[in-house]
Structure 1
Amino acid sequence: MKRATREVLPGGGLVLAVSGRPGPPPLGFEAADGGRLLLRQGERPLMLGRLDGDGCCRDLHLRCLDGHRSPLPPLGSAAMRTRGNWPHRYARWLEESGDGPLHDGRWRLAERTYFAPGIWTEDFVRQWPDGRLELLCGGGWHGVLPLRRLSPPDAPRVKAYRKHAREGTLAPVLLWWVSFLDGWLLLDGHDRAVAALEEGAVPPCVVLARVQDDEKWRKTADEITEAHEQEMARVAERPAHAGLTHQRATLERGYADAMSWLPYEEAHTDSRPLPGGAVAWDDLAGRAMFECPRD
């Protein structure tokens, strides 16, 4: 498999430019008519979702299924105590994994320590197997969705990880940013997340996010540059006044800020058509309800 090109970012993160991967990714979304959604890992369905309600604020009803395989190898105590660059380490493992979401394109991996209030509390989905996401207008939700049943706080692995959380040696969990949820899927570190939360802390995180392809962000950059140059020309034609220098500096600063972030702006999360469409989804949903009755 062709190795991805790496772009190192300030602060220890990186961008992977993935190319040459055949077919769809091992972990990915499929969609069908009527707001039907499926998350599949290989041939195994992991999550069924369906939108409900009218208007812009709708609910996404979920049925989660067992069988998620982490794209990262198991992390023992010794590995966690060996301090290193976690985004780079996770990037290498994701490239080698047959269970992750990587496909051709640019992917950013970076540590994240701050989240808005509520994301790891009321918007951290603890229900299993059924759940409901209350999507805000425009489709957003802004929470964290585990891909397997959470262990209880007194589980042996959680207890062991709580010690690491207290020591500051807990390896970060791996989150995947999904644009149409405006939220994250928890790909690896379910027990580590529970351990950190039991210690009253936000779990340390590495976030995987698809970012804009070069062609798209460069096209946007050209459009922004043209608009900026036109605005600066209009400012130059105005009579001199006391605030002119400040106005120019503000425009230049805004332009520089926009251009610096543009290559790393999140892109839309891909979903492919579900083979068989709504009929296939309904069949999967019926079997899921039979195999995994409501708790």
Structure 2
Amino acid sequence: MARATREPLPGGGLVLTVPEDGTPRPPLRLERASDRRWLLRQGERPLIRARSEGDGCCRDLHLRRLPGYRSPLPHLTAARMRTSPDWPHLYARWLEEARGGPLHRGRWLLNRRATFTPGIWDCDLVRDWPEATLELLCGGGWHGVLPLRPLPAPDAARVKAYRKHAREGTLAPVLLWWVSFLDGWLLLDGHDRAAAALAEGAPPECVEVVRVADDAHWRATAEEITEAYEKRVARVAADPASRHTARHRHVVDRAYAEVLSGLPYDADTTPVFDPAPE
């Protein structure tokens, strides 16, 4: 993969901008098999075969996961975890060097995530293997975590070793890939660490990798929002002055600033590629 440029973010995390390098599709990718079927592939190996069933906006997604998934990150040693590196930056470097990861042309946000809405890591964590059914909500999405290999038992040898790290606060975060049409995450790295954290009674800390809007896309949206903001400000200025005018203007300005500041980092649609020609 061509070397990405990095944009460090205030408070941690970064955005990787991956240039076009002529690669038609990334090693780890979603592929469209038909209107109702899709695959997850790593290289040429299929990892998930999925099909949606039902009519309307609320459908069931039936999927079967296949063996053979390989994490794009190297094995983490106990010594490495105890150094407490800047995990988003380290994972970003490893993903750039990986041969089996999801990165391809575009902008990718990597950031730490320690809190989730209730249910993500218990009732919406898919523990069944290899078959599972996801109940997609109206408008698409299910909002859970889908492991790419079976989660080990809490008393598995490696999980027990990681549980000690969880108690010490030195457990490395797991790596999640946000997939927009699932409104959920694929667990890319850290299945044993996730099991260890959950066995210790807490969801695992995570590094989330999300494809975000290209510069041209978010800048065009910013221009539209700015035009609407300027019209709103003009209407406020045209109203007779009252004790509410200054407050109204403050609310408008603050909302505009908050929306504009988040635009470059809003999640974009996860691409689903056409299958390679035979």
Same fold (TM over 0.5): yes
Aligned to 2:200: 199
SS of the counterpart of 1:62?
strand
Deviation at 1:84, TM superposition (A): 1.4
Which whole-Å CA distance do the structure 1 matches of 2:12 and 2:250 have between them?
30
Q: Does 1:7 find its partner at 2:7? A: yes
- Closer, same or farther: CA 34–214 of 1 in aligned 2, 3 Å: closer
SS of the counterpart of 1:252?
helix
Deviation at 1:97, TM superposition (A): 0.2
List aligned pairs for 1:187-266, cutoff 5 A.
187-266=188-267
Identity of counterpart residues, as a percentage?
A: 64
Deviation at 1:83, TM superposition (A): 1.2
Deviation at 1:20, TM superposition (A): 3.2
Amino acid at match of 1:16: L
Which whole-Å CA distance do the structure 2 matches of 1:62 and 1:20 have between them?
32
Which whole-Å CA distance do the structure 2 matches of 1:172 and 1:83 have between them?
10
List aligned pairs for 1:31-110, cutoff 5 A.
31-110=32-111
Amino acid at match of 1:185: L
Which whole-Å CA distance do the structure 1 matches of 2:2 and 2:276 have between them?
28
Which whole-Å CA distance do the structure 1 matches of 2:51 and 2:276 have between them?
16
SS of the counterpart of 1:271?
coil
Aligned to 1:20: 20
Which whole-Å CA distance do the structure 1 matches of 2:55 and 2:223 have between them?
39
Deviation at 1:273, TM superposition (A): 1.7
Which whole-Å CA distance do the structure 2 matches of 1:35 and 1:274 have between them?
14
Which whole-Å CA distance do the structure 1 matches of 2:135 and 2:24 have between them?
33
Amino acid at match of 1:259: L
SS of the counterpart of 1:223?
helix
Deviation at 1:2, TM superposition (A): 3.0
Which whole-Å CA distance do the structure 1 matches of 2:56 and 2:271 have between them?
24
SS of the counterpart of 1:49?
strand
SS of the counterpart of 2:2?
coil
Deviations 1:228-262 (A, max 9, x none): 00110011111111100000000000000000000
SS of the counterpart of 1:74?
coil
Which whole-Å CA distance do the structure 1 matches of 2:255 and 2:19 have between them?
33
Deviations 1:128-171 (A, max 9, x none): 00001100001110000000011111110000000000000000
Which whole-Å CA distance do the structure 1 matches of 2:276 and 2:78 have between them?
42
Deviations 1:186-207 (A, max 9, x none): 0000000000000001101000
Which whole-Å CA distance do the structure 1 matches of 2:255 and 2:178 have between them?
26
Aligned to 1:291: none
Aligned to 1:174: 175
Which whole-Å CA distance do the structure 1 matches of 2:227 and 2:242 have between them?
25
Amino acid at match of 2:189: D
Deviation at 1:275, TM superposition (A): 4.7
Unaligned residue ranges in structure 2 (runs of 5+): none
Deviations 1:108-136 (A, max 9, x none): 00000110000000000000000011000
Unaligned residue ranges in structure 1 (runs of 5+): 281-295
- CA-atom RMSD in angstroms: 1.1
Amino acid at match of 1:24: R
Which whole-Å CA distance do the structure 2 matches of 1:27 and 1:34 have between them?
21
List aligned pairs for 1:265-280, cutoff 5 A.
265-275=266-276
Which whole-Å CA distance do the structure 2 matches of 1:180 and 1:38 have between them?
13
Amino acid at match of 1:153: P
Deviations 1:62-112 (A, max 9, x none): 000000000000001000001110000000000000000000000000000
Which whole-Å CA distance do the structure 1 matches of 2:75 and 2:20 have between them?
27
TM-score (normalised: structure 1): 0.92
SS of the counterpart of 1:273?
coil
Q: Would you identify which runs of 4 or more consecutive aligned residues in structure 1 move more than 3 Å?
A: none
Deviation at 1:263, TM superposition (A): 0.4
Which whole-Å CA distance do the structure 2 matches of 1:10 and 1:191 have between them?
30
